[in-house]
Chain A
Amino acid sequence: MSQPVISLRHVSMAFPQHNGDAFLALQDVSLDVDPGRFVSIVGPSGCGKSTTLSLIAGLLFPTDGEVWLEGRRVEDVQTSVGFMFQQDALFPWKTVLGNVMAGLLFRQVPRKEAQERALSWIRRVGLAGFEHHYPYQLSGGMRKRVSLAQTLVYDPDILLMDEPFSALDVQTRDLMENELLALWQELRKTVLFITHDLQEAIALSDEVVVMTAAPGRIKARYPIQLARPRNLLDIRTSPEFEAIYSHIWGDLREEVMASYARSQ
């Protein structure tokens, strides 16, 4: 049995609020992710999914419990991971090439080599010819491809993805998911993928983790045994997929309703 590369141990996270109380975002979350696995976390909005990723990346630190990454305790920002944000995180003043190169330059890779590696990734995500465009000149889908290249160019072993495609239209999103899966099939990185879309989670993952409404706890974990490689454009209509979906939806639904009721 290999060591988990991501390990949350009884993690709780509270945020101070304006009125002096603390908002408990995560409560006693324990989760292990084995290397090379594609794991998705789904849950209603506000359940602490994004917080979980920030804790793993060392952008935040837990109020309680421990976060371990590749056998070391997370005590600082983790540059060994790749992180794709839900929001647009590209540098608007850098070109596509500049954005994709940034991580390599920060890591002291010589400029010439950085440029070659960046160019090859730009081609790989299908943006050849757009090297010298600025983010504002690109569509939402293209910007996500730049983010993907920016993240993958320095070859991180672990990808943390925070609803990366949620802002895209449905067609672009399907295509991006398919491409992500193809890349993952080839690169075999560990992926922790956050989404509120159960279909997306099932289609992509080896395992789906359902979180409860706030405070976020792990409600259940479901291994997804759909055969790989998968074609996302067809998989959603298979009876197997539908069976898994309705099984997990039963659990998720309760949490979504609870979260919705609280927001009213």
Chain B
Amino acid sequence: METRQPSHRLIWFLRGVLLVAFLGGWEMGARAGFLDPFFYSSPGAILARLFQWAADGSIFRHIGITLWEMMLGFAIGTVSGMLLGYLFARSELLGGVFEPLMALLNAIPRLVLAPLFILWFGLGITSKVVMSLALVVFVVFFATYTAIKEVDPILIANARILGARPRDLTWHVLVPSALTWIFTSLRTSVGFALIGAVVGEYLGATKGLGYLVSFAESMFDATGVFAGLVVMVIVAGGLDYVIGRIETRFSVWKPSR
């Protein structure tokens, strides 16, 4: 058995080879006529489309709209998820009544609700924000709820003897403890926020990345669909990078893995 770790450089090299082989094969297949460009498009055509979108600036408007919907959905979903999680975890009565309801709602595949949200909230950004927050709120709610329910009782006992009033207990013990869980679920919830916004746009909108893809589809424009997907991947990758930076900034007290 080979036990030596493969070097970083080798891994990156092989990744490059794979990418070039895939794109090259695709491009050549399209040019040679193995792959019908009408159905499969080609990397060159997709790249050209991306440049065109960038040149006329239209793509940035769509990205901007999607990000804006996503951020609103994320912000509202996170804040309400935290508040609900905190309330339900701290109050036996509220928790007892509502926790099963939250679990039940969480079991509904919310993407199916998207057409209803569009019906209720229209084709504008509201329906996308609602879709996005409907996905985020549960992730954050359960993270907060579990964090507060499972905070080490020794820490609470210690804080109380040290003189913590209920307010101190919230800010010095419960919130920091919950934040670590929420940060752990941050990647998931940001991903969900993006999915919510895009799916909402896909089903009915006049702007945004989801709309772009759905419009291209309705025109049987495979190049437009692929170009839209590439933009989504770039946006998602960029968000992931930003979150990674935020995570390292805020969880300094955690041992680095």
| A residues in contact with B255, CB < 8 Å | 136-137
Nearest chain B CB to A146's CB is how many angstroms away? 12
Chain A: residues with Cβ within 8 Å of the partner, total of 29
Taking CB atoms, residues of chain B closer than 8 Å to A68 are none
Q: What count of chain B residues pass the 8 Å CB interface test?
A: 21
Stretch of B68-76, B164-172, B228-236 on the interface side: B164-172
Tell whether A205 is near chain B: CB-to-CB under 8 Å: no
Say yes or no: A106 contacts B158, CB within 8 Å: no
Asked if B176 lies at the interface with its beta carbon under 8 angstroms from chain A, I say yes
- Shortest Cβ gap from A70 to chain B (Å): 15
For B163, the chain A residues whose CB sits under 8 A away are: 79, 103, 106-107, 154
Does B239 belong to the interface (CB within 8 Å)?
no
Q: How far is the CA of A199 from the CA of B226 in the complex (A)?
A: 75
Q: Are A79 and B161 in contact (CB under 8 A)?
A: yes
Question: Is A85 in contact with chain B by the CB < 8 A criterion?
Answer: yes
Task: Assess the A59–B253 pair: CB atoms within 8 A.
Answer: no
Residues of chain A contacted by B160 (CB below 8 angstroms): 59, 77, 79
The one of B159, B161, B180 that contacts A81, using a Cβ cutoff of 8 Å: B161
Answer whether residue A92 sits at the interface, using C-beta atoms and an 8 A cutoff: yes
User: Which of B164, B172, B253 interacts with A136 by CB under 8 Å?
Assistant: B253
A106 contacts B253, CB within 8 Å?
Answer: no
User: Of all chain B residues, which has the CB nearest A133?
Assistant: B253
Across the interface, do A102 and B159 meet the contact criterion of CB distance under 8 Å? yes
Given contact pairs A82-B161, A83-B157, A93-B176, a sample of 13 additional A-B residue pairs in the complex whose CB atoms are under 8 Å apart: A57-B161, A81-B161, A89-B155, A89-B157, A93-B177, A94-B172, A94-B253, A103-B162, A106-B162, A106-B164, A106-B165, A106-B168, A106-B172
Minimum-distance CB pairs A-B, first 5: A106-B163, A103-B162, A89-B158, A134-B253, A93-B176
